[in-house]
Structure 1
Amino acid sequence: MFKKKIHKYIGIAGISLAAAACGVPALTEKSENKTVPASYNNSQDTTNVANLKWKEYFTDPYLAALIDTALKNNQELNITLQEIEIARNEIRARKGEYLPFVGIKGAADVEKVGRYTSQGAGDATTEIKPGKEMPDPLPNFLVGAYATWEVDIWHKLHNAKKAALTRYLSTVEGRNFVVTTLIAEIANSYYELLALDKQLDIVKQNIGIQTNALEIVKLQKEATRVTELAVRKFEAEVLNTQSLQFDIQQRITETENRINFLLGRYPQPIQRNAQTFDNAIPDVIHSGIPSQLLANRPDIKQAELDLAASRLDVKIAKAQFYPSLGLSAAIGYEAFNPTYLFKTPKSLLYSVAGDLVAPLVNKNAIKAAYYSANAKQIQAVYNYQRTILNAYVEVMNQLIKIGNLGKSYDLKSRQVETLTQSITISNDLFKSARADYMEVLLTQRDALESKFELIETRKQQMTAMVNIYQALGGGWN
């Protein structure tokens, strides 16, 4: 009889397993494409500036001190570090799920059974020797240990732990990406600050030039060689340039405060080295080859890890269709009187059980979770490929930009030199009445604008040097 029951249970389990296996829907899988162009500009030079540490790339000691402070105090970076800690705890939680759960239990209760119930009536009709009656009401005391364990037949729990570990590594790469972005943002703001300082110096110099021109015009008016209109025009130009000075000072304050915010501190002056802005820009940027982006860019590695985790999620969702095997056991002591509680073997109790559970009817929730996991996995594939494409485009844009800005800077330098000479020429011609005051004003205005444009081009060059380092994946190592 016992063997027949065993065979019956095995048969039921087999039928459940077969039904569960047949109920797994087929999915359309999608694999990622890691192919990238062989080079950026037909160069096979594998030397890559991304391999330089940020302190080797940014040699200005003031800028290095700012970056170092930001890496310690930046709020966003600190938030990201806590996300890493959360992901680490998730690994610990997932690891605990496939290990046995063991606990201890203590209980005490009292029960009064009604006489007109089946149990009470049965007890009343049972012949019991005097002094051997059950207490009424009946207390009960229990102390023991229990254990439960889900046997990970389909590696559902192990895959969940692997997915948590993969996402932890993904958060680490996310932190690295925040670091590269933070370093680039501080460097760009620092160079913008140096550019504003240069513009402020030029404005002050121009105010001096315009003030001298105004004095000349006033003398010309006294000599009746020009009218009051010319004086007013020159005065207006001086006032306009003076107002421009305060606009630049406001931008300097805002840029300093932006840097201080990134450093996680309240506003204070930013120390800087003006000579850094005049340093020579390298003629050649060693960008390496595109395939190095897969190893250097933290956002690409993060997307790759997210893709690996999403594939594990699909396996976890698929395992929900299969039966789960659970084992449980308990051992302890139970008695109606504390004095009998630890009487062995009379008060000893123990149990061992196993259960096999499989979904059979109405699997809509499981199917929905399975389809959603697959859809997220396909999303992760597209996100991974988009991240690679975006990285390549960013590098190409910055490489081309560096080349074009170099040519533009050379031409604008010549323009500034020519217009600076034109100021002296226009002033001399005006003194000799061979040029009118409008020519002087326009020449001064053009010279000022050309100097501003030259500084802006220089700032864009330095920004491009920062951005190419970030685009290649430098800064986090």
Structure 2
Amino acid sequence: MLNKIIYRYLGVAVIALSFSACTLPALIDKSVNTTVPVSYNNHSQDTTNTAKVKWQDYFTDSNLTALIDVALNNNQELNITMQEIEIARNEVQARKGEYLPFVGIGGGAAVDKVGRYTRNGALEANNEIKPGKEFPEPFTDLMIGAYATWEVDIWHKLRNAKKGAYNRYLSSVDGKNFLVTNLIAEIANSYYELLALDNQLAIVKQNIEIQTNALNIVKLQKQSARVTELAVRRFEAQVLDTRSLQYGIQQQIIETENKINFLVGRYPQPIARNSNSFGELANDTIQAGIPSQLLQNRPDIRQAELELAAARLDIKVAKARFYPSLGISAGLGFQAFNPAYLVNTPESLLYSLAGDITAPLINRNAIKATYVNANAKQIQAIYNYERTILNAYIEVANQLSNISNLKSSYDLKARQVKALTESIDISNNLFRSARADYMEVLLTQRDALETRFELIETKMKQMNARVNIYRALGGGWN
């Protein structure tokens, strides 16, 4: 009769648990679109890819590579990211430990004195452990033993949580790689900016010398009444303007040096460099490969992919919370009221073994919300993954176009500089022979200065484009 009652209640419990697991909230389903064009704006479909070149071989300036080497060891942001990787690795270990049995050891001691005129007191008074010896008073309780608890991972809830943590660990590694790529690119861009500023400063100093010589000539011509005081003042104002420009560039040089020092992780100090050959720096041919290679070469794309994989596992973990969970607990040890009896077996031996199965039945709002949120986060991860792929493709396409246009611009600007540099000598000669107005000399000098500045800036943009295409293709981290 008793067995029938037990089986009846167990049957009801199983039905209730099954019902609770079957009524899951409906989720929005979204597939991932990872298709990319077969080429970059009708470029070649050759699979040779500059991203495979190591940064030590891509950047040939020994001063620049030395800065990058130091930055990869000292940069604070990179070192912070390394600790985040360590945290993610430890999280994997923590998740792994959750689906293994927990085993511990413990002991305890207690003293208990009950009133004699109580039920327990009366029972103890009439109970004798040995003939002629009463139940001890006060009663001491000593225990030592081992215990174990284990949640049986029937639905792989704990294993999926561990896999999700592992994917996030791998994602943090790719996040570090993406940071390395950006760090190398930022140092290289700042270094080329510094070289450009050095060359602009040299041009300004040359122009100050040219303009000062022209001012001296105008002063002599004023003495011979060939020009007026107005011409002298205009030439003098131009010299002062160019000198003020010199100090602005010097300040930019200091700030750019300190930016590099910050990225390298050290206090301000001069940056070793050779600026003389800046105008002759070569722009090697870039091999962009094919767009599908971005999925493997770009660390940020791989990071987004791993985050998506982790988000999918989070849904499985959240779903498993609707199902029954099985727990097992056990204990083994010794217990006695007297230390002398503690190891007297089997009388002092204690052991226990228990199992329980539970499942949510009423008021499951919290786990429903967790389940739906996990799906929403997965959809977010899908959009982020697709956006990262799209952004990578556009970055490469922009830089390929930029490299081509800057090459044409630089060639034309170089011809313009040559023409204006020659026009300075021509205008000075014409001015000496009174065949040109002093304003023509001033305008020619100003135009020549501005154009030489623009030529240096175009060269800097060319070098930056070379750095940026390397970063956009996913180079620098390997």
TM-score bucket of the superposed structures, by smaller chain: over 0.9
Kindly report which structure 2 residues correspond to 1:66-465, keeping only aligned pairs within 5 A, or say none: 66-123=67-124, 131-282=132-283, 284-465=285-466
Any gaps of 5 or more consecutive residues in structure 1?
A: none
- Residue-by-residue CA offset, 1:200-237 (whole Å, 9 max, x unaligned): 11001001100010011001100111111111111111
Range that drifts further, 90-99 or 36-45: 36-45
Cα distance in 1, alignment partners of residues 471 and 257 from structure 2: 22
Cα distance in 2, alignment partners of residues 128 and 431 from structure 1: 131
The CA deviation at 1:73 is 0.8
- Residue-by-residue CA offset, 1:179-219 (whole Å, 9 max, x unaligned): 00000000000100100011011001001100010011001
Q: What amino acid is aligned across from residue 20 of structure 1 in structure 2?
A: S
The CA deviation at 1:128 is 8.7
Pair 162,276 (structure 1): closer, same or farther in 2 beyond 3 Å: farther
Secondary structure, in 3 states, of the residue corresponding to 2:105?
strand
The CA deviation at 1:398 is 0.4
Q: CA RMSD in A?
A: 1.6
Secondary structure, in 3 states, of the residue corresponding to 1:202?
helix
The CA deviation at 1:16 is 3.4
**Equivalent pair of 1:60/1:276 in contact (CA under 8 Å):** no
Match of 2:24? 24
Secondary structure, in 3 states, of the residue corresponding to 1:274?
coil
The CA deviation at 1:239 is 1.0
Q: What amino acid is aligned across from residue 363 of structure 2 in structure 1?
A: N
Pair 120,74 (structure 1): closer, same or farther in 2 beyond 3 Å: same
Pair 195,127 (structure 1): closer, same or farther in 2 beyond 3 Å: closer
Cα distance in 1, alignment partners of residues 2 and 186 from structure 2: 75
The CA deviation at 1:274 is 2.2
The CA deviation at 1:123 is 4.0
Pair 127,335 (structure 1): closer, same or farther in 2 beyond 3 Å: closer
Q: What amino acid is aligned across from residue 23 of structure 1 in structure 2?
A: T
Pair 127,110 (structure 1): closer, same or farther in 2 beyond 3 Å: closer
Aligned residues: 477
- Residue-by-residue CA offset, 1:292-331 (whole Å, 9 max, x unaligned): 0000000000000000000000110111111110000001
The CA deviation at 1:425 is 1.3
- Residue-by-residue CA offset, 1:328-371 (whole Å, 9 max, x unaligned): 00011111111111110111110000000100000001011111
The CA deviation at 1:131 is 2.9
Pair 125,337 (structure 1): closer, same or farther in 2 beyond 3 Å: closer
Any gaps of 5 or more consecutive residues in structure 2?
A: none
Q: What amino acid is aligned across from residue 87 of structure 1 in structure 2?
A: A
The CA deviation at 1:260 is 0.8
Identity of matched residues, %:
71
**Equivalent pair of 1:195/1:277 in contact (CA under 8 Å):** yes
Cα distance in 1, alignment partners of residues 75 and 3 from structure 2: 69
Pair 147,127 (structure 1): closer, same or farther in 2 beyond 3 Å: closer
Match of 2:34? 34
Cα distance in 2, alignment partners of residues 472 and 358 from structure 1: 50
Cα distance in 1, alignment partners of residues 422 and 287 from structure 2: 38
Q: What amino acid is aligned across from residue 201 of structure 1 in structure 2?
A: A
Q: What amino acid is aligned across from residue 36 of structure 1 in structure 2?
A: V
**Equivalent pair of 1:107/1:141 in contact (CA under 8 Å):** yes
Range that drifts further, 431-440 or 281-290: 281-290
Q: What amino acid is aligned across from residue 29 of structure 1 in structure 2?
A: D
